[in-house]
Copies of this chain bind each other. A is one copy, B any other.
């Protein structure tokens, strides 16, 4: 399981080659890296904050925040975990050049797991391989149940799909079967983990998925 699904089957251009170098660098340092992608407000940062709480005694963690402004960096900093801003300069996605600059600011000899929080966007980030091992795609209940159908490229490339904010399921017209069928249509072997970062329901499944992925990647 050393290879992520590479989205949009990229040509081996300069960006992709750089991403492959980053991937090798991660493997050489026994780092497992996750590319976390979602719409704005789906809960990427909240998921990371809670994940750090659960895992920081078990693994040495670091976070790269792809953003224009450092709001999320400041939130992660408070956990005591290494965090670096990958400045996107207004771009709608991270690429391997931004990743390379960010990685230089991390003490990579001292970490086991790296989370990359991509720019809030369900389209562009799907087309740029960053050298990470797994693509984590988050959708959230208030966004509606049609997201896998409307953003097939993003879901196609997911190694795991997280359905966040399931505490909203009761008062929202969200057909969970329709959502899951949409994921299965585009990515038949991709697990869907239903959770709420607010109530903690389902969160242990995500933590298990992470630790198992880490173990298999060693």
Contact with B along A71-94 (1 / 0, CB 8 A): 100000000000000000011100
Write the nearest CB–CB distance from A51 to chain B, whole angstroms: 18
Residue of B nearest to A124 (CB): B92
A90 to B67 alpha-carbon distance, docked (Å): 22
| Chain B CB within 10 A, most for which of A121, A140, A147, A152 | A121
Write the nearest CB–CB distance from A29 to chain B, whole angstroms: 31
Copy number of this protein in the oligomer?
A: 2
CB of A143 within 8 A of chain B?
A: yes
CB of A120 within 8 A of chain B?
A: yes
CB of A191 within 8 A of chain B?
A: no
CB of A10 within 8 A of chain B?
A: no
* Structural contact, A68 and B142, CB atoms closer than 8 A: no
Set of chain B residues within 8 Å of A40, measured between Cβ atoms = 39, 122, 143, 147, 150-151
* Structural contact, B149 and A71, CB atoms closer than 8 A: yes
* Structural contact, B120 and A152, CB atoms closer than 8 A: no
A165 to B173 alpha-carbon distance, docked (Å): 13
Contact with B along A108-136 (1 / 0, CB 8 A): 00000000000111111000000000000
The list of the 3 closest CB pairs from A to B, nearest first, reads A41-B143, A142-B142, A92-B123
